[in-house]
């Protein structure tokens, strides 16, 4: 079973757990009590569930994620044009992965952690190839 490692901004390990291959990353994080906001319930509409994937970057991404990231980059948020930026609600865990959560819950910014999310990727995914440059690495 693939292992998910969650690190803080300094690279310190906060959580480590195994999941069934094919598990939606956001669902795995929630089920293992990782502090992550998911306002839209996993529908690629809000970006609060975004993660940086340090190792095990997927070689595919959803069209829904790409559409949201394109919109965010156009609105002046270039951090979404990064090969390791993903929406955890749009990622399927198929191999070991190290991730950093970008938006933990903060009661000043958030009313709640967000709506419940389904086990499956929503909306129905249309998969695009995702290129990971050598300088970032995929191990």
Residue 107 beta carbon to ligand FES: minimum distance, rounded to whole angstroms: 18
Query: How many residues sit close enough to ligand FES to count as binding (CB under 6 A)?
Result: 13
**Interface with ligand FES by CB under 6 A: which range of 13-21, 32-40, 69-77, 118-126?**
32-40
Q: Residue from 7, 30, 44, 85 that binds ligand FES (CB under 6 A)? A: 44
74: left (phi over 0), alpha (psi -120 to 50) or beta: alpha
Cβ closest to ligand FES, residue 19 vs residue 121: 121
Q: Which secondary-structure segment (H or E) carries 25?
A: helix 25-31
CB 59 within 8 A of CB 80: no
Q: Is 58 in the site for ligand FES (CB under 6 A)?
A: no
Please enumerate in sequence order all residues whose Cβ is within 8 A of that of 106, keeping only pairs 6 or more positions apart, or say none: none
Distance between CA atoms of 49 and 89, rounded to whole angstroms?
Answer: 7
Q: Is 35 in the site for ligand FES (CB under 6 A)?
A: no
For residue 80, give the DSSP letter. Answer: G
Q: Is 56 in the site for ligand FES (CB under 6 A)?
A: no
Residues in contact with ligand FES by CB under 6 A are 38-40, 42-49, 87, 89
């Amino acid at each position: 079973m693939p292992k998910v490692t969650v690190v803080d901004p300094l690279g310190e390990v906060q959580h480590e757990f195994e999941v069934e291959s094919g598990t939606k990353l956001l669902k795995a994080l929630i089920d293992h009590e990782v502090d992550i906001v998911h306002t839209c319930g996993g529908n690629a509409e809000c970006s609060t569930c975004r993660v940086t994937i340090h190792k095990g970057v997927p070689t595919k991404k959803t069209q829904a994620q790409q559409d949201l990231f394109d919109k965010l980059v156009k609105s002046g948020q270039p951090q979404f044009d990064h090969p390791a930026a993903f929406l955890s609600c749009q990622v399927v865990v198929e191999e070991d992965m190290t991730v950093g959560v970008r938006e933990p819950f903060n009661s000043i910014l958030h009313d709640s952690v967000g709506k419940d999310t389904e086990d499956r990727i929503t909306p129905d995914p249309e998969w695009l190839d995702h290129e990971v440059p050598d300088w970032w690495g995929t191990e």
